[in-house]
């Protein structure tokens, strides 16, 4: 039998990306590393947010392989460093642990989750005392300490268990007309399908609505049925089938949640998949027109042009950020924000904690359907009629041979910026995150790179899906011609 070098099992350097540290279980993500990161994170959380006098750290987890065990080990190490740990007694959405950090006035939270990544991955997210992701300067401080000894206190802290669901559900229920939604479900006027993708959203809507709904893939599966818990059409065949074969009358809604329940997508009664490029405008209208709320709309540069069209119609200020929910959260801490969202499904609200929350978005969407009497497709059509704006959107991830190819493509973008894309003149180019080419027919192409992998991400919006595919094909050909 061929021997395997021990170096093959040496984990990659611990590095925090846009939302936490993630790695392959047993290679990168090990108990020793989790314990080290968790204990050092607790120290940095105290240094950053300790003015509140707390010594408490929330620890939670998702439904991935070994998640409860990693969470327990992280708790042991945090307690050994002298902190009081509140360890979840069950899986729950990441936003529930962010809420717990805020609600319990804790230093913050450590959450074992790899979000939407495939089954081989686990991860660790660090949440702040104010209930959102910690800023990059905090994760940089954690990384800077990784070479230090694991902290040990003369007097260890204690570990107590808690159930994160009750307080979290009560908070979310208070933000909507929960009785109207319950009544619509009970009376058969509204049928709700929830695709939870074997993840932490399981049981969530039942807990909130206190009604039976059609939950799909609610059982635990550490392999995620061979896919990934990401709210994309290719991973949700059962939901398509369920809605196509429905026999009920009345309104039908499909809601899709990622692995740790901080991202959402939807499906209308005709089994049309709807990304957050569609859901965010529906939410903008609902919060503004039916709930009478105001505030700034925050979008990332990959967000649909329907956002600014609708913001102009409703006289709402608009703010644009690089891709990554941390930029939206930062804006929520300094401005009066109504809603902030990203095309990948993360949506949050300025009147709640600065955290993307898929179950809260689900409740607002259900409330919009109940109060309007229209399903998602009808609501979307109405918005496009109001604004006169019609578009299609898609994105592809293009694997590159190596990081050297990535560098070559980046150099080409910087030294020889395209003047036309798929026969469309480039009107302007925005470079706050990658290169976004705004084209003469109001379509656009965004080219950006993964920060940690040799992957080129291509995003496009145009008036038709055929136009989108033309733009993406041009971008793919451009990349291949240079690489």
Digits of tens for pLDDT over the chain (483 positions)?
334 334 444 568 898 877 789 999 999 999 999 999 999 999 999 999 999 899 999 999 999 999 999 999 999 999 999 999 999 999 999 999 999 999 999 999 999 999 999 999 999 999 999 999 998 899 999 999 999 999 999 999 999 999 999 999 999 999 999 999 999 999 999 999 999 999 999 999 999 999 999 999 999 999 999 999 999 999 999 999 999 999 888 899 999 999 999 999 999 999 999 999 999 999 999 999 999 999 999 999 999 999 999 999 999 999 999 988 889 999 999 999 999 999 989 999 999 999 999 999 999 999 999 999 999 999 999 999 999 998 899 999 999 988 889 899 999 998 988 999 999 999 999 999 999 999 999 999 999 998 667 889 999 999 999 999 999 999 999 999 987
For the record, the structure tokens of 334 come out as: 């300094």
- Asked, colleague to colleague, whether 6-165 and 392-482 share their fold, the answer is no
What are the pLDDT digits (tens) for 441-456? Answer: 999 999 999 866 788 9
Q: Which residue has the tokens 């026969």?
A: 423
CA torsion 325-330-332-336 (nearest 10°) is -130
The DSSP bridge partners found for residue 332 are none
For 175, 278, 337, 348, the CA distances from 316, given in Å and listed in that order, are: 21, 18, 10, 16
**Whether the Cβ atoms of residue 426 and residue 418 lie closer than 8 Å to each other:** yes
Q: Tabulate helix, strand, coil % of the chain (nearest 5).
A: 40, 25, 40
**Whether the Cβ atoms of residue 479 and residue 462 lie closer than 8 Å to each other:** no
442: nearest Cα among 429, 456, 461, 457: 461
**Whether the Cβ atoms of residue 267 and residue 273 lie closer than 8 Å to each other:** yes
Instruction: Provide the CATH number for the domain formed by 175-387 in this structure.
Output: 3.40.120.10
Q: Measure the CA–CA gap between 74 and 86, rounded to whole angstroms.
A: 11
Q: Measure the CA–CA gap between 387 and 307, rounded to whole angstroms.
A: 10
What pLDDT shows up at residue 7?
A: 41
For the beta carbon of residue 390, count every other beta carbon within 10 angstroms: 12
Domain ranges of the chain: 6-165, 175-387, 392-482
Give the three-class secondary structure for 433: coil
* Segment (H or E) for 49: helix 31-49
The DSSP bridge partners found for residue 266 are 255, 274
482: nearest Cα among 420, 413, 425: 413
* Segment (H or E) for 255: strand 251-257
**Whether the Cβ atoms of residue 21 and residue 37 lie closer than 8 Å to each other:** yes
For the record, the structure tokens of 472 come out as: 């993406």
For the sheet containing 318-321, what is the strand order? Answer: 318-321, 296-300, 337-341, 347-349
Specify whether domain 392-482 bears CATH 3.40.630.20: no
For the beta carbon of residue 84, count every other beta carbon within 10 angstroms: 17
For the record, the structure tokens of 20 come out as: 């936490």
**Whether the Cβ atoms of residue 364 and residue 181 lie closer than 8 Å to each other:** no
**Whether the Cβ atoms of residue 239 and residue 353 lie closer than 8 Å to each other:** no
**Whether the Cβ atoms of residue 390 and residue 403 lie closer than 8 Å to each other:** no
For 39, 81, 110, 161, 300, the CA distances from 75, given in Å and listed in that order, are: 8, 10, 9, 10, 35
For the beta carbon of residue 334, count every other beta carbon within 10 angstroms: 7
Architecture, CATH, for domain 6-165: 3-Layer(aba) Sandwich (3.40)
- Its pTM stands at 0.93
């Amino acid at each position: 039998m061929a021997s395997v070098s021990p170096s093959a099992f040496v984990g990659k350097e611990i590095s925090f990306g846009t939302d936490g540290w993630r790695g392959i279980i047993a290679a990168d993500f090990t108990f020793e590393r989790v314990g080290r990161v968790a204990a050092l994170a607790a120290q940095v959380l105290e240094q950053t947010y300790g003015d509140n006098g707390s010594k408490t750290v929330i620890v939670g987890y998702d439904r991935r392989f070994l998640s409860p065990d990693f969470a327990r080990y992280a708790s042991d190490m945090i307690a050994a460093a002298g902190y009081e740990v509140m360890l979840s007694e069950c899986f729950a959405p990441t936003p529930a642990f962010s809420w717990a950090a805020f609600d319990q006035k804790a230093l913050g939270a450590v959450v074992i989750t790899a979000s939407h990544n495939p089954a081989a991955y686990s991860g660790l997210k660090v949440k702040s005392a104010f209930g959102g992701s910690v800023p990059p300067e905090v994760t940089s401080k954690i990384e800077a300490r990784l070479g230090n000894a694991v902290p040990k206190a003369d007097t260890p802290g204690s570990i107590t268990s808690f159930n994160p669901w009750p307080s979290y559900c009560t908070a979310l229920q208070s933000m909507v007309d929960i009785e109207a939604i319950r009544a619509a479900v009970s009376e058969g006027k509204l049928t709700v399908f929830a695709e939870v993708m074997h993840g932490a959203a399981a049981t969530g809507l039942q807990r909130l609505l206190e009604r039976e709904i059609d939950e799909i893939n609610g059982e635990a599966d550490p392999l995620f049925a061979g896919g990934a818990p990401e709210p994309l059409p290719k991973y949700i065949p059962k939901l398509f089938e369920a809605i196509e074969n429905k026999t009920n009358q009345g309104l039908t809604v499909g809601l899709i949640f990622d692995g740790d329940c901080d991202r959402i997508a939807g499906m209308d009664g005709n089994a049309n998949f709807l990304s957050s490029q569609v859901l965010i405008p529906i939410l903008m209208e609902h919060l503004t027109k039916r709930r009478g709320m105001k505030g700034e709309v925050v979008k990332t540069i990959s967000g649909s042009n329907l956002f600014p069209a609708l913001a102009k119609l409703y006289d709402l200020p608009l703010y644009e950020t690089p891709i990554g929910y941390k930029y939206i959260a930062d804006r929520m801490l300094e401005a009066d924000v109504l809603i902030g969202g990203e095309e990948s499904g993360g949506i949050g609200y300025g009147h709640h904690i600065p955290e993307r929350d898929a179950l809260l978005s689900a409740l607002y969407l259900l409330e919009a359907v109940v109060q309007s009497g229209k399903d998602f497709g009808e609501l979307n059509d109405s918005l496009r009629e109001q604004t006169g704006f019609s578009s299609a959107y898609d994105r592809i991830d293009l694997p590159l041979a190596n990081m050297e190819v990535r560098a070559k493509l980046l150099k080409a973008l910087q030294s020889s910026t395209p003047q036309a894309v798929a026969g469309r003149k480039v009107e302007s180019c925005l470079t706050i995150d990658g290169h976004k080419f705004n084209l003469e027919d109001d379509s656009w192409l965004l080219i950006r790179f993964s920060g940690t992998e040799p992957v080129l991400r291509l995003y496009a919006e145009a008036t038709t899906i055929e136009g989108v595919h033309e733009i993406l094909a041009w971008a793919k050909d451009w990349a291949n011609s240079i690489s």
